[in-house]
Amino acid sequence: VKDAIERCEKNIPNAKNKFFIIEDTSVKIHALSNEEEYPGVDIKYWMQENDFLSIDKQLKNLGSNRQVTVRSDLVLILPSSIQKQIKGTYITFTSSVSGNISEKEYEIKTQPLYPWLSSITFDKWFIPKGCEIPLSALPIEMADLHDFRAGAFKEMLHFLEKNKIKPNDKIAVCSY
C-alpha cells in the first residue's frame, strides 16, 4: 500500500487530496496450498509459468482435489481531508468466490467489452461453484454474479454511503 501511495503521489497531481483504489487478486489452489495460499497474489506470474496440462497433472497426482478460492482485496486510499474523520489513511475490503479448476481446457476468446473475461487470466480455468464452465466463458450476466471482486466493491460503496462520503471528481486511478 505504501509503495502504491508513493507511486500515485509521484504521478498524479494533488494525489493527497484524491481517493484512489488498489485491487489485487489472490488465488488459493487448495491441493497446492499448505499454511499459506498458493499461488496467492503471485497468480499473474504463476499463470505465465504454468499451462493447463502441467496443473492438471499435479492435481491428479495429489488426489484430484480441484478446489480453489479466488479472493479480491480492494484498498481505498482516502484523501487527507477525510483521514481524520475515518481515523486512517486507507480502508481494506475483501471478498471471495469458491469453485474448482476445470477438468478440461476450454477455448476461451477474450470478450472485447469485458477484457477481464480472457484467455490469459486464471478465470479461464476457474469454474465458480454452481457453474459448469469457467468464469471467462460465462455470459456477462452470469460472470457478474460470480465475480470475486463484486463483494469488495459493494462493501466499499456501503462504507462510503454509511459515512456520507461522496467522491466527486477527486478520484485517481493508479495502475499497480
Q: Tell me the pTM.
A: 0.88
Helix (H, G, I), strand (E, B) or coil at 25: strand
pLDDT of residue 176: 47
119-159 pLDDT, tens digit each:
999 999 999 999 999 999 999 999 999 999 999 999 999 99
Location of C-alpha cell 499473474: 44
> Is residue 125 within 8 Å of 134, Cβ to Cβ?
yes
Q: pLDDT (tens digit, 9 = 90+) per residue, 57-78?
A: 999 999 999 999 999 999 998 8
Under 8 Å between Cβ of 53 and 46: no
User: Can you give the three-state secondary structure of 87-138, one letter per residue?
Assistant: CCCEEEEEEEEEEEECCCCCCCCCECCECCCCCCCHHHCEEECCCCCCHHHC
Q: How far is it, in rounded angstroms, from Cα 72 to Cα 70?
A: 7
Please give the Cα distance from 61 to 52 (Å, whole number).
14
Q: CA end-to-end span of the chain, whole Å?
A: 10
Per-residue pLDDT tens over the stretch 153-167: 999 999 988 988 876
Q: Give the C-alpha separation, 52 to 65, whole Å.
A: 15
